[in-house]
Structure 1
Amino acid sequence: MPFIEEFDHLKIQLQDIISATENFSTNKLIGRGGFGRVYKGELSLPEGKTMVAFKRLDRRLGQGNVEFWKEIITLSKYRHENLVSLLHFCNEGDEMILVYEHASRGSLDCYLSDVNLTWTQRLKMCVGVARGINFLHDPMGSQQRVIHRDVKSENILLDEKWTAKVSDFGLSKTGPANQPQTYLVSNVVGTPGYCDPLYWEMGFLSKESDVYSFGVVLFEILCGRLCFEYSNGELSNILVPRWRRCYEEERLDEIILVGLKEQMEPGSLNTFSAIAYRCVKKAREERPMIAEIVNELEFALEQQEIFENLAKRVDIAELIKIAGLAVPPLSYESHNQLLMLLLKGFLIDDGNTWVSINMNGEVTKVVSAKKCFFGDSLVTKNASHVAPNRRAKIARCKFPYYVCSVYGNRFRVEVNSRFLSPNVTEEVGPSRAQLDPQDSP
């Protein structure tokens, strides 16, 4: 392979690796995969000592020279914060070993069910992976587009700061980056459950195949479990179809990891679940581009962070006091749930006052017209007696629609209750006053 000479600067000696891994001791073993076993060790080189990961090829698992050199070629050209970095390689005798930066926290699949991994942390990981895939699909300059072909939680590594990094490019395919679409017909590889059904059935590969696989990972992060089940050592069930149905039937509560829902800002969950669902659409043309996925996940993270910042600013004791006035009584299990109820708003004062909180942490109230306006007569007006073009507006009101007639002053005041958006601070004032045609001079 004449082309390998351009990578000579990355070569290191086998003896250096043997020394760092204590001759591939089980004490240094940190993982296994389709390529082979992975060891950690401190590598001593002229430029200094550094902790790294060594991935040792085991040909009995089905991979070999092609996957080895593909990994080197890809990772030496594609550098990104959310792609694992290849540092060196060794090719001596029968040994073929890849040397990577050490992701000290291991792979994402080990943390899916960890209740200590917060929703915000999960969102940040998703954003990172999406950015990494976006870099592969739409690289800058003259680089070719890379289709990973095996995106899964096991191939997403986490460093000390929980930064997510896409790894394992041995099965990747490349194609022209200057075209809107890249379609390839190839032998089917990948992992059941994550693999694009169209690719799995027909061998028809595109960048939307990676989008499907990433959508499965998004659902795994939401549900806190892998996308498949094993029975007696054999694959027995793939959960993706059920996850799709739960979204379509608005039954996400049945599959979200227990304890995670209480942390979520509702808008963040809605944004996240909607883009995850679109990713795993069976029809390839209905799946979003990875750039759109990045934008949606960043928005979901922004919504969550705004909510968490709000939670830090509010006086919880005051909110609990307000909640005790609710009509009917409120039911909530955490301070976050109470905050969400206040963002939506609820009635107090025998149903005459609507109270809510805005995103600045300010408590706002809207008072029924019944409490604000007095006159010779005050009647509740049924929407059926209102002009058709105004019924829809009245139907959105939480309070009854009141008409206050002050006949002694020869004018008529109509009051239509208004409600505050949780994102906007408003003041309640007179809604409208007009001359009654019948009372005009």
Structure 2
Amino acid sequence: MLQGETIVLSRFRLSDIMVATENFSDIYCIGLHEYGKVYKAELDDFKNKSSLAFKEKLNDSGWPKTRVNVAIKHISNGVNVKQRFFLEIEMRTSYKHPNMVSLIGFCDEDDDVILVYEHASNKSLDDYLKNVDNMNNLTWTQRLHMCLGIARGLNHIHTKMDNQERIIHGDIRSANILLGENLGPKIAYFGISNFHLENQNTSTKVYWDPEFERTRIMKIESDIFSFGVILLEIFCGRLAYDSIYIDENDKGLAAIARSGLNDGAIKKLLDPKLINEVINDEIITSNRGPNQNSLDTFLKITHQCLEEAQAKRPTMETVIKELEISLNFQSLKTISR
């Protein structure tokens, strides 16, 4: 968390946003939130120069511009739209965190209120996991660092973003974990989709807290369950809704793994790339995988995140401590060689 930093936002023109999204065409829509839609598009990057006059001068002078991928959050539904708009700006500029996408600009023209967020350079964790070969490049230590980054971002949301009440993300899943430089994870898209349950499909439902599915009441603990599913995905090297899991259980990886977490069978789901690697067409034992203590610590906290009863789930602060212990055990393994 980087407190005290001056955060300067760009003020985007509605006309530019309309062109970039072709008048908010559904072609560019990447999700829904409680008060409207979110679109992915490209806009000119002015390095956070907020003055429209400055931008116009920049254009006239012929200075080179770069295009940047952004997520455009259009707030168009509900009451007190302007109030919600300014509250979100205040909240997102009060604290900045390396594991959360940054608010980079806004538009407030007529009745249109729009927030513009960064869109990380390496797509999403979902995209990354869809190509199983990608995970071959990640050691156990690198995977733990990725898990820790997501955990720290989520803890920041739960405990630091509002002095008045705890914030719930509401839609933690791999598609909403963007990957930046060096595959650093950034949490994105607060509250998209879960407010529109009729639009959900298997790729979303596999992350749902069973208690939320029964009650339709979203809680902090719902985020923690969903994060537990992501821990499993990184552990297995596959998406929770991969057909290999859905064919066995329509609720996906978490439902399969929870029974295995009780009897130790979960270890059979460990990404085989962490156990074996191919060198010159020969399969040999890999040195990239976890040691026993690191693995046991990781699986213990994953099991707790996936508890059926919300009251039994840990806080994100506890999750972070356990993941750090797992990483320390792995570091000891490396040093002792």
Same fold by TM-score, threshold 0.5 exceeded?
yes
The alignment partner of 1:150 has SS state of: coil
Greater relative contact order (Cα < 8 A, sep 6+): 2
- Report the counterpart of residue 221 of structure 1 in structure 2: 234
Which letter maps to 1:138?
T
Partner Cα separation in structure 2 for residue 51 and residue 277 of structure 1:
43
- Alpha-carbon distance change, 279 to 22 in structure 1, aligned in 2, over 3 angstroms: closer
Name 1:80's counterpart in structure 2: 97
Deviation at 1:161, TM superposition (A): 2.6
Task: Report which of the two has the higher share of helix.
Answer: 2
| Structure 2 residue matching 1:146: 3-state secondary structure | coil
Query: What is the SS of the residue equivalent to 1:276?
Result: helix
- Kindly indicate which of the two structures has a greater share of residues assigned to strand: 1
Q: For 1:141-180, what aligned pairs fall within 5 Å after superposition?
A: 142-171=163-192
Report how far residue 110 of structure 1 moved. 1.7
Q: Distance in 2 between matches of 1:92 and 1:257?
A: 50
Corresponding residue for 2:144? 123
Q: Deviations over 1:375-401 (max 9, x none)?
A: xxxxxxxxxxxxxxxxxxxxxxxxxxx
Residue in 2 that maps onto 1:134: 155
Distance across 1 between alignment mates of 2:218 and 2:28:
32
Pairwise CA distance, 1:259: 0.9
SS of 1:33's equivalent?
A: strand
1:39 maps to 41
Query: Structure 1 counterpart of 2:103, which letter?
Result: L
Change (3 A) 1:153 1:9: closer
Query: Which residue pairs with 1:307 in the alignment?
Result: 333
State the 1:30 CA deviation. 9.3
Counterpart in 1 of 2:14?
A: 14
- The equivalent residue for 1:240 is 254
Q: What is the deviation of 1:285? A: 1.7
Q: Distance in 1 between the 2:116 and 2:39 partners? A: 12
- Correspondences of 1:340-419 after superposition (within 5 Å): 359=336, 361=337
After superposition, the Cα gap between the structure-2 partners of 1:109 and 1:140, relative to the gap in structure 1 and judged at 3 Å, is closer
State whether residues 83 and 132 of structure 1, in contact with CA within 8 Å, keep that contact through their aligned partners in structure 2. Answer: yes
Distance in 2 of aligned mates of 1:100 and 1:285: 34
Please tell me the residue identity of whatever aligns with 1:269: L
- The two structures, once aligned, show a CA RMSD in angstroms of 3.8
TM-score normalised by L of structure 2: 0.70
- For 2:88 and 2:190, locate their aligned partners in 1 and report how far apart those are by CA, in whole Å: 5
C-alpha distance after superposition, 1:111-167 (max 9, x if no partner): 223221222221111101111111122227835321111111111111113221111
- After superposition, the Cα gap between the structure-2 partners of 1:225 and 1:71, relative to the gap in structure 1 and judged at 3 Å, is farther
Letter in 2 for 1:227: A
Residues 266-301 of structure 1: per-residue CA shift (max 9 Å, x gap)? 221111111111100101121111111000111112
Residue 61 (structure 2) aligns with: none
Amino acid at match of 1:212: F
How far off is 1:215 after superposition? 0.5
Shift of 1:220: 0.9
Structure 1 residue 43: Cα displacement? 1.7
Q: Tell which structure's C-alpha radius of gyration is larger.
A: 1
Unaligned runs of 5+ in 1: 1-7, 174-185, 311-358, 362-441
Partner of 2:309: 283
The answer to whether structure 1 residue 55 and structure 2 residue 71 are counterparts is: yes
**1:327: which partner in 2?**
none
Q: Is the 8 A contact 1:219 1:276 kept in 2?
A: yes
Please give the TM-score of this superposition, normalised by the length of structure 1: 0.55
TM-superposed deviation, 1:257: 1.6
- 2:223, 2:189 → 1: CA distance? 14
* Structure 2 unmatched runs, 5+: 1-7, 59-64, 276-285
AA aligned opposite 2:305: C
CA distance in 1, matches of 2:207, 2:99: 20
